[in-house]
Structure 1
């Protein structure tokens, strides 16, 4: 048992969370109704401002606003102790402004819909209410050493958020990530592949396609050659995937394309595999005479290895038993999150503590409201457990 929660308080967490569910659903409708696509920095800033106001209303403290290269993040530190526990959330989504016109917030038959409902606004609201529950039971001292972070560019690789959250969580004994669970089974995420993101830009030379195509250097042809080479860099036996994705090139139908480019998504279970693929991509040489290859990007997130989560996962099972709820299950997944950064820094990290549902980044995105209260209670217990002396 933790120093902050005796058995009576622990047994009350589930009913307390259930009593808060109507407010959590209202808060979720509020944040879903403020659209925050990652690339729209003004929209992300507006969402962060509303999120900060919501946090202040629920926790009685206003988070600091931290802007890094135009991207807005939030930080709320509790107490004066060095950070012991970091709670990681993000409020940006993949959905463009206007999505609400097609997919407004709804809660019908236990199913919550709306942009970001599964990934990961439900989890962020759960985090706020779990912290509020501890505050109610133990006062401000119960939260000493806790840091809540809400970043604004997780969906595009945390290019500004990574250094921010790594600095804020440095030295923590635990990091809890409120990303959605793995599907409707509600599995926690015990390991994640590392990610690398590249853009390969091919520089050629333009010429009239009808009059003198021989004077051009066709960047499109070079792109075609490179696609085949890059696609062979994966290693299925090791779980490494290398996938060309977004393609573009050329200017007009009667011009030899002077430039073409494509993006590459890399996922790997080990840093060694990330480094192997990185070296291979940087070693690519052109096949078309006169073409030049420019490589942008690189390794983005290190792998989150199972060793980073096993201790916290075992403790989650013990606490679930004391709470009287189903023991969590755990899985390894290919997608990455900000938990990759904390795990890569050696901080014990447990991910997938947020919504149960399905459809991340898809039209059928949804969360199941029946799971919100018990998972919020489990999060509160985990936070108290790791904040204990």
Structure 2
């Protein structure tokens, strides 16, 4: 165990250089050509540092998916990463890869190209030090996590079903490096209200305002928020009407729902889907559903976290903490089928923001934590 840690602590500069290779290849989720370019670079880096079977899964709906294996065994440990970012093509021109003291800036450094690098170097260390594992490791690098994992979800779930444990290399939950032992589930809904138009000055009484109805709907939806349960509802987008002198015939809203348990989804979703109009002449249509299920802190997840804490205290000289994350990840899908520990990726800040960065001094530390976990769980 000590050799794994010391081996990786000597790799900080090398890890930063590999990170530069990935960050300086842009990979916005909806640009297949650019995402595939990054995928080819990751395949090259895997061959350079890890070796072992690697399959590029052709994917016409988004970038191709990379599935790499390390070690042998009937059972497997699944590592989840993604190569796409939220940043559009051309971002590097105004937001270049750069290093300022301990901070490494650039689009996708923190979310989550740094996690990919740390995972690859963890496997590199296990290979170079000939650590024997009873379980093989399967590493998935997906192309569309930031846009909802529509094309990769089925493969993630398929691999999770075959896995004893799942490790997610998404960024840490805080600048203190907390792990994510639970995540809120996400629901996304569109509410369309139809009324009846009329001239707002001449015959206002003949109209039935969809906007007025939607205002009531929004107040009702927001009233369902329960902070004690961790349940939040937020209407973040509204539109409707045609002119200020016309009683609006149509109005629409987009709703974000977050819950901590599947039971809470079961309770709240019917309240959203079964809303009734408050008066005649109005119709309400609700579409949407669960975008990502919650990652719940079940007993097995607690045990995985406790192991990670023990390893960090014994070999890395710090005490790990954990927390709930309000955002979703591919770990949310995997957690429905296997115990899943999330937030094992970079320590830094600014995900999806122009100040996105990771701490380069923490890259070998987090990589060592992943290697230690694999060695213990495998």
TM-score (norm. length: structure 2): 0.89
Identify the range of structure 1 (117-126 vs 242-251) with the bigger mean alpha-carbon deviation: 242-251
Does residue 185 of structure 1 match 2:137? no
Structure 1 stretch displaced more, 152-161 or 347-356: 152-161
Task: Specify which of 121, 128, 145 is matched with residue 136 of structure 1.
Answer: 128
Q: Is the contact made by 2:59 and 2:65 (CA closer than 8 Å) also made in structure 1?
A: yes
RMSD across aligned positions (CA): 2.7
* Aligned residue-pair number: 376
| 1:238 alignment partner in structure 2 | 229
Aligned pair 1:115/2:100, yes or no? no
Task: For residues 108-128 of structure 1, give each alpha carbon's deviation from its aligned partner in whole angstroms, at most 9, with x where no partner exists.
Answer: 111011122212221111011
Shift of 1:326: 1.4
Query: 1:127 corresponds to which residue?
Result: 119
Change (3 A) 1:254 1:98: farther
Distance in 2 (CA, whole Å) between partners of 1:247 and 1:26 is 45
Contact in 1 for aligned 2:181/2:342 (Cα 8 Å): yes
1:33-182 to 2 correspondences below 5 Å? 33-61=24-52, 62-67=54-59, 69-79=61-71, 81-138=73-130, 142=133, 145-182=136-173
SS of the aligned residue for 1:298 comes to strand
In 2, distance between residues paired with 1:285 and 1:253? 26
The alpha-carbon deviation at position 253 of structure 1 amounts to: 6.4
Instruction: Give the superposition deviation at 1:39.
Output: 3.7
CA distance in 2, matches of 1:84, 1:259: 52
SS of corresponding position for 1:47: helix
Give the counterpart of 2:262 among 260, 271, 274.
271
Q: Cα offset for 1:257?
A: 5.0
**What is the rounded CA distance, in whole Å, between the counterparts of 1:204 and 1:77 in structure 2?**
57
Alignment equivalent of 1:344, drawn from 336, 351, 358 = 336
Q: Which one has the bigger helix percentage?
A: 1
Q: How far off its partner does 1:37 sit?
A: 2.6
TM-score by length of 1: 0.87
Show CA shifts across 1:106-147 (max 9, x none): 1111101112221222111101111111122227x7485211
Quick one: distance in 2 between partners of 1:37 and 1:255?
A: 41
CA deviations 1:237-261 (Å, max 9, x no partner) are 2111111112333456676655432
The gaps in structure 2 that reach 5 residues or longer are none
Deviation at residue 379 of structure 1 after TM alignment:
0.7
Give the conservation status (yes or no) of the 8 Å contact 1:76–1:148. yes
The more displaced of 117-126 and 26-35 is 26-35
| Offset at residue 315 of structure 1 (A) | 1.2
2:322 corresponds to which residue? 330
Q: Secondary structure at the match of 2:11?
A: helix
